[in-house]
Amino acid sequence: MSEVRGVDELIRGLVRDIADYPKPGILFKDITPLLGDPEGFTRTVDALGAPWQNSQPRIDKVVGIEARGFILAAPVALALGAGFVPVRKAGKLPGQTFSQSYALEYGEETLEVHRDAFAPGERVLVVDDVLATGGTVDATASLIRAAGAQIVGVSVLLELTFLEPRARLGDLPLHSLLPV
């Protein structure tokens, strides 16, 4: 009988550490080997959506954060029978937007979402690749609320636990496939 590996073990084997990218002192988690592996990609998408597969009421929209979040969030949206909404860097969305700025380790970032991306009260899941300080997800949660929807959870592939991102997310349900 062939051994069935856990998705955490698959991810551990297929995510590559790149030192000092994009800046000295950052250990970059490169997910491209995982995306290039059919079993790794499929099982990652399944696992990211699994806790919300039978949620009642259902998930209406899955939000992906530019850019790697798009690659994971779009197939999760299809798997859940939900729509997909992009949260993008400033100036990339063509329609009217809500904006949220937040501090990065170095400098500042601004994220945007279309003002009409959600119907009032829609239930939203956020999907991203790496949860580091939690600032990006926190800003995304603010955008979702500003646009009149309800964020019901967050699914990430990797959680950098030493940066304590959970503290930033309060009581928002967080599903991380591999805490490291």
**Alpha-carbon gap, residue 72 to 78, rounded angstroms:** 11
Query: Does residue 12 carry a catalytic annotation?
Result: no
Site string for ligand AMP, 29-68 (x = CB under 6 A): x-----------------------------------x--x
Give the bridge partners for 151, in sequence order: 124
Give the bridge partners for 101, in sequence order: 110
Single out the residue of 60, 112, 122, 128 in contact with ligand AMP (rule: CB under 6 A). 128
179 contributes a contact to ligand AMP by CB under 6 A: no
Buried b (16+ CB within 10 A) or exposed e, 53-88: eeeeeebbbbbbbbebbbbbbbbbbebbebbbbbbb
Nearest CB to ligand AMP, comparing residues 105 and 116: 105
DSSP character for 160? -
Single out the residue of 11, 131, 151, 174 in contact with ligand AMP (rule: CB under 6 A). 131
Give the binding site for ligand AMP (CB under 6 A). Answer: 26-29, 65, 68-69, 128-136, 165
